[in-house]
A and B are shown apart, each in its own frame.
Chain A
Amino acid sequence: MSARANSAGNRNWRFTLTLKSRETLAACAFLAPFMVFFAVFVVRAVVEAVRMSFYDWHILRPMRPYIGIENYIELINDDVWWISLQNTIVFTALTVVGTTIVALAAAVAVTRPIRAQSFFRVLLYMPSLLSVGAVGLIWVWLLNTQFGIINYGLSFLGIRPVNWLGDPGLVIPSLSLTTIWWGFGFPMLIFIAGLQGIPEQLYEAARIDGGSNRDLFFYITLPLLRPTILFVTVTGVISHFQVYGQPFIMTTGGPGRSSYSLIFYLYQIAWTAFRMGYGAAVAVCIAVIMAVMTSIQFIVLSRRIEY
């Protein structure tokens, strides 16, 4: 009697779940492992970083006094922070624009029906496989004032050696150039996928109407790639705003502080001075700036998006 009642109860319980509820449960079950790790290793770390930013927190010092917003006040008055922010914005702007243009051009080139298409795709993607250490060392030598192959090539044009990494006006563009060469492979793949999603009929119709290749690119390809461009630029800004390895390896922030980036400065604060509280304040401000910039990108580039 009791077993039958339980069985009926179970059956009733099962039938009370709607399809939507069952789907929600399944989704939660699939998401749960990720969410657990996300909560422990990301959310908790973010909360802890925000908390640390209100303390005078030295990693080895047992006393960590609460100091309110003093770290943030110090940050506002810290000229190195502002120099680093300016450098990082210039670097990010140059690199994101450059990477997007080069990646799009490369994607268009290797989407054409050419021989050895796959070979060229793989080849153009290859620099992305290198570590920042290898890329930095290669380009330090390429850009070397005395022995660099780039200056050697320019000498045949009668151009005197250029101090690529030593001239404060050239150092950020040089780091940007390095990063574009290193990083255009992945956005190129994204653009290839985007290009393959554009229906061929649109191009055929435009050609019948007398559209030139230039018209096809600017009035069909580019508008329909807008979601892809949004993705590439948003991820590019997030990635390049956190540049660290290139200035660390290629210039150590110099000349002077001409190539200090925000993360480079953050590392110095946290791991040279061991001021974790102040470093956390810097990290929080970087995160806020990135969130604002990403929001602006979404607002600007999401307009008139063609899905």
Chain B
Amino acid sequence: MVKRLSLILTLALLVAAMLVISMPMSTVAQDAEPTPIVGAFGGGETKISYWNGLTGSDGVTMNEMLAQFADENPEFEVTSEIIPWNTLYAKLQAAFVANQPPDLILMHASEVPQFANFGVLMDLGPWYAGNGGWFDENDISAITYSGMQYQGVTYAIPLDNHGRGLWINTDMFDAAGVDTDPATAPDNYEDWVTLFQALTLDANGNNAADPDFDAENVVQWGYVVGEWPRVNFLSALAQHGGEMVSPEGQVTVNSDAGIAALQQTKDLVFEYNVSPPPAGFDTWQGFASGAVAVIPTGTWFRNFAVDQTDINGMAWPQVQFGAQPATWFGIHAFMLPASSTPEKAEAVQTLLQWISANQGTWAGSGQVPALLSVQASLDAVNYPSNILLGQTFTDYGILDYTSTVTQEMYAALDPELDGALNNLKSVEDALNDAAERMQQVLDRAM
């Protein structure tokens, strides 16, 4: 009898464990309002299939714009599919091989060389004003225009500049007696360390500069190095005057500049105790729960910060660890398959003209509209982060290295950065290993 009771008790405990385990999923399901993965807008005769990777709140904004377009242009029907970026690029390859690509694709400009190299993208040069078209290349920054091109051919129409900056918890800044004005942001590593130390607190309320600071019991981190380490590294590398690949085609992430950039970042974790190691720390939730004072993130963080947290926050420019400012940014850009029929290209052109004319609406996604005239028209009350970060991209933004194998090189770099920042490897070993693998990739593509 006792055995039977203990058996039932054991099983009951298993039941309870399963119910508890199931709770987070049901909570998420109640709270989240997922962006529709596939949306059909309008019901007209002219149909446009459109793939993009806008899985965040920017996807909501894009769908709203498409709905508005369909309202104003009832002869169109736009079918939009939102696919996570990595999956999107894999699906695109298969779609091109099967000769069934979508009519319109939103991609990162860094993907232009890879796809253009295989001749699957349409030359959109005639759509630019310099060639008699409608899109004014003088209304985008020079670096944005360069990102649309590969080997002298223009393959894309830019939608936005999206890139790195900081998001700060202003209440924590006030409590630490730090000015929140972005103009007061430090311009050297030592001052950033001092700032992060002032913002890092242990359970006893001591900050990281205090001799009694308990590094094993931190309740508030000044900074987090685990938020997309690659683009932070590329920014810091450029700040130290380095580059990922030299003009001679030599991978130089393990240069003195690269070692300095990564060592400084690693020291924030293991030397100054102002950041947790990347592994196992959820940076966004850390910021949202009030455990992080400064998060290096991007323009896309705006709607999350505003809509999904109770934190009083604002955007700041990217940290500057080297002698010169630099921040990584990317470009969302529209491309068409080379196999488009003239009729389909004409229809897509109508849609892109409308989207370009309404780029101001796109600012609501948090991203910075690509058109400089639209950037200039944004009001500072509603779009402070777009304006602040957009200016940094124009002034000292850096793009990804242009090659057909950039993503493959990143796949070699990312685990090494992660290994170094989690103290699994020394900075030198990690960057040397990364450089060796990246060079193999690059040499194969040459």
Contacts and interface: CB of A to CB of B under 8 A. Distances in A.
Interface string B253-295: 0000000000000000000000001111110011001010000
Contacts of A45: none
B74 interface: no
A273 B278 contact: no
A109 B7 contact: yes
Contacts of A166: 277-281, 422
A146 B291 contact: yes
Interface string B401-437: 0000101100100011011001011000000000000
B408 A60 contact: no
A14 to B, nearest CB: 49
A144 interface: yes
Contact of A60 (B11, B93, B285, B418): B93
Interface stretch (B14-22, B51-59, B145-153, B190-198): B14-22
B217 to A, nearest CB: 9
A254 interface: yes
Nearest to B280: A166
Contacts of B418: 254-256
A144 B90 contact: no
- Looking at A165, A167, A255, which has the most chain B CB atoms within 10 Å of its CB? A255
B280 A165 contact: yes
B291 A59 contact: no
Contacts of A124: 11, 14
B75 to A, nearest CB: 34
A257 B291 CA distance: 27
Contacts of B291: 146
Contact of B11 (A109, A163, A254, A258): A109
B18 A256 contact: no
B281 to A, nearest CB: 6
B355 interface: no
A164 to B, nearest CB: 7
Looking at A60, A127, A163, the one whose CB has the most chain B CB atoms below 10 A away is: A60
Interface stretch (A47-55, A133-141, A191-199, A222-230): A133-141
A61 interface: yes
Interface in A142-163: 142, 144-147, 149, 160, 163
B120 interface: yes
A109 B9 CA distance: 11
B120 A60 contact: yes
Contacts of A253: 415
Given A168-B424, A254-B418, A273-B408, A114 B280 contact: no
B10 to A, nearest CB: 7
A112 interface: yes
A295 to B, nearest CB: 33
Contacts of B142: none
A126 interface: yes
A254 B282 contact: no
A123 interface: yes
A272 B414 CA distance: 13
Contacts of B120: 60
Nearest to A83: B415
A248 B375 CA distance: 38
B183 interface: no
Interface residues of B, number: 47
Contacts of A167: 279-280
Contact of A120 (B11, B97, B286): B11
B24 interface: yes
Interface string A171-214: 00000000001000000000000000000000000000000000
B94 A256 contact: no
B144 to A, nearest CB: 26
A149 B405 CA distance: 42
Contacts of A254: 278-279, 415, 418, 422
Given A166-B422, A257-B415, A272 B280 contact: no
Given A138-B25, A256-B418, A59 B97 contact: yes
A88 to B, nearest CB: 16
Given A109-B11, A256-B419, A142 B424 contact: no
A144 B94 contact: no
A127 B18 contact: yes
Interface in A32-47: none
A126 B286 CA distance: 32
Contacts of A145: 280-281
B289 to A, nearest CB: 7
Contacts of A256: 415-416, 418-419, 422, 424-425
A115 interface: yes
A118 interface: no
B411 A273 contact: yes
B216 interface: yes
Given A109-B11, A120-B11, A254-B418, A160 B216 contact: yes
Contacts of A120: 11, 15
* 7 pairs of A and B residues whose beta carbons are closest in the complex: A166-B279, A166-B280, A256-B419, A255-B279, A60-B118, A273-B408, A145-B280
Interface of A: 59-61, 109-110, 112, 114-115, 120, 123-124, 126-127, 134, 137-138, 141-142, 144-147, 149, 160, 163-168, 181, 253-258, 260, 268, 271-275
Given A123-B11, A138-B25, A145-B281, 8 more contacts: A120-B11, A144-B280, A144-B282, A146-B291, A147-B285, A167-B279, A256-B425, A272-B408
